[in-house]
Each structure stands twice: as C-alpha cells, then as structure tokens.
Amino acid sequence: MNGEYGLLDTDEAEAPGDEFEEIDVSDTEADRIARERDREFDQWRKRIKNSERFKVQESAFDDATFAALYKLVQDGYVDALGGPVSTGKEANVYEALGGERSLKELADGAEQVAIKVYRTRATNFRDMREYLVGDPRFEELGDKKEIVLAWTRKELSNLERARKAGVRVPTPIAAQRNVLVMEFVATEGQRARRLDEVSIENPETAYGVVREYVRRLYAAGLVHGDLSEYNVLFYEGQLVIIDIGQAVTIHHPNAEEFLERDCENVASFFRRQGVDADGAELYEWVHENADPNK
Ligand SMILES: Nc1ncnc2c1ncn2[C@@H]1O[C@H](COP(=O)(O)OP(=O)(O)OP(=O)(O)O)[C@@H](O)[C@H]1O
Ligand SMILES: [Mg+2]
C-alpha cells in the first residue's frame, strides 16, 4: 500500500540530533527598512495602494510587516500578493505569486507560494512561551517581537527538518521577520482541503501514513505539538503536514506530553473514521520504532 498516500522515501532522511542553527532575531533588514523608510520603499508603498498585483489592503499590515514583504519582493521570493487563504488568531495565510528564487524551490510548473504572516501584536504570547522555553534554539528570548520573529524562523527550520526526515510538508522557502514563505499546497489555485474537510476513502491507509510521519518526526528529534485533522492537508493523493511552528525538540520538557496529545488527537480522528486506532498504542509504537539518539 506504500505510495498510495504519497509516503515519501526515506533515502534522503538525515540522522537526528539537536544541532540546530543559532537564530538571531535582534534586528532584521525589514525593521531597518521600516525605520528608514527610504524613497524607494515609500514609492513602492504608494504604488501598492492601487496595484492589481497586491490584492491585500496595505492597511492589513503594520509598517515592519509591510517592509518584510517589500524585502521578500526585493530578494526575488515574491512577485505579487493574492488574497487571504485563512485568517486566524496567530497568523494569516495569503496566496501569492512566487518570485524567481521561490520558483526554483518548487515543482516544475508551480507558480504560487503561501505566505504566512504572524501577528506581532494580538498573539497569545503565553502559549508561545510554553513551546519555546526549554528549546535550545530559543534561549534568552526577550520581548514579544523577538518571540514572534523566533517563532517564524522556527517554523521555517522545523519545515526544513521535517522535510529532511522524509515527512511531506509544504516546501520551506524563506522567512523574513514575521513572514514565512512556503509552497502553496493547492490544485489549480484552490488550497488543498484539510482532513477535517474531506471524506477519506481509505482511512486505514491514511492512518498508517500519519503514524509513519509522527514516527519520522520523532526519529528526527521533533514533536509536532499541534497535530490533528486540522493540520493535515489532503493533496492529490498525498497527506501534507502543516502548521509546524510550535514543534519542539524531543529534549523539550513537555515533548512527551505533546507527543501523547498528538497521538491521541490523530487516533481519535481516525477512530471516528472507523479505524481501530488508539492513542496510547500509537505513542508506544512511536517510541518502540524511533530511536532519536541512534
Ligand atoms: N502551505 C499551505 N498551502 C495551502 N494551504 C495552507 C498552507 N498553509 C496554511 N494553509 C491553510 O491555512 C490554514 C491556516 O494555516 P496554519 O494551520 O498554518 O495556521 P494556524 O497557526 O493554524 O492559524 P490559526 O491557528 O491562527 O488559525 C490551514 O488550515 C490551511 O487551510
Ligand atoms: Mg492550523
């Protein structure tokens, strides 16, 4: 049954570990641009107001977020911004036309990217801290802005890590300040549906794939931390794991608790689809079959 839901080959998977890169969030190019507001940036802002290429109201973003988008355009990651795909508590997701540098990362013929814009204001920072504290990558974080910036970089690095581990996630492309650019998982411009939105023909097989992805993540030293039918997309026969910003390393003090919860969420969804699934069994199976310290 392998391949039916697009289980990726593990040939390219890397050995796990905690050797994450250091993340510097002290100041970003976007902050500098927003501060200096040079002529070019100002002119760009003005043009955007009446531009067909920028469907999002300029007023939807604060200055520094706007500058982050500007930088992504300048750097060749984004060509044009489309409408919202999702508006949430912590972040909004927009569709966009990828720039040259993005297209290089995407499958042949793909043109769109998804842009996830984290809110720097109305975010629930206590919740974020719960995930960040204890993660060696995010020691000594200061104010709210820094936390959100770290969060955005963390989602990018988690996506990269997951991909290397053989887990199907949106291809990570770039992060700038509070803005993340990744593959837009969509068919003919329509975002892929989440598991909660589709009826699955073969839930048994799908459950097997999700189990394997939980195991591969764990073997790569990561626990998703918010896994459920709401964060798995069904895309042209594949299952794609999304929303991986809060994922923690297995050394995080709450990693086991998060893993237990993920397993329970996943099992209870598939139980409702008629699969004989059990969260505790999944949790144990992951431990028995993934040795992150190997
Ligand atoms: N790369 C992507 N391709 C296609 N659709 C996406 C992509 N990323 C996100 N989406 C869509 O946007 C929605 C929100 O994205 P995501 O789950 O990453 O954010 P979130 O943190 O859950 O936001 P919030 O919880 O604040 O609503 C998803 O449920 C999915 O439908
Ligand atoms: Mg989500």
pLDDT in tens, 93-114: 999 999 999 999 999 999 999 9
Q: Which ligand is nearest to the CA of 88?
A: 1
Q: In what order do the strands lie in the sheet with 238-241?
A: 193-194, 232-235, 238-241
Torsion angle defined by CA atoms of residues 72, 74, 75 and 81, in that order, rounded to the nearest 10 degrees? 40
Active-site annotation holder among 226, 276, 278, 291 = 226
pLDDT in tens, 208-225: 999 999 999 999 999 999
Question: How far apart (Å, rounded) are the C-alpha atoms in residues 290 and 24?
Answer: 31
**All structural domains of the chain with their residue ranges:** 29-187, 193-289
Whether 79 sits among the annotated catalytic residues: the reply is no
pLDDT in tens, 170-198: 999 999 999 999 999 999 999 999 999 99
pLDDT in tens, 232-277: 999 999 999 999 999 999 989 999 999 999 999 999 999 999 999 9
User: For residues 75 and 57, which has the higher predicted lDDT (pLDDT)?
Assistant: 75
User: For the domain with range 29-187, which CATH number is right: 3.30.200.20, 2.40.50.1070, 3.40.50.2020, 3.40.190.10?
Assistant: 3.30.200.20
Q: Which of 32-36, 155-159, 186-190, 198-202 has the lowest mean pLDDT?
A: 32-36
Phi, psi of 146 (to 5 degrees): -60, -40
Whether 243 sits among the annotated catalytic residues: the reply is yes
How many A from CA of 232 to the centre of ligand 2?
Answer: 9
Strand, helix or coil at 260? helix
Q: Which ligand is nearest to the CA of 116?
A: 1
Q: What confidence tier does 129 reach under pLDDT thresholds 50, 70, 90?
A: confident
User: For residues 121 and 112, which has the higher predicted lDDT (pLDDT)?
Assistant: 112
Average pLDDT value for the chain:
87
Task: Give the homologous superfamily in CATH for domain 193-289.
Answer: Transferase(Phosphotransferase) domain 1 (1.10.510.10)
Phi, psi of 225 (to 5 degrees): 90, -15
How many A from CA of 268 to the centre of ligand 1?
Answer: 21
Question: How far apart (Å, rounded) are the C-alpha atoms in residues 238 and 213?
Answer: 12
Residue whose CA lies nearest to ligand 1 atom number 17:
243
User: For residues 42 and 228, which has the higher predicted lDDT (pLDDT)?
Assistant: 228
> Is the per-residue pLDDT at 18 higher than 50?
no
Atom of ligand 1 nearest to the CA of 87: 27
Active-site annotation holder among 79, 135, 243, 262 = 243
pTM for the complete prediction?
A: 0.88
> Is the per-residue pLDDT at 293 higher than 90?
no
Residue whose CA lies nearest to ligand 1 atom number 14:
86
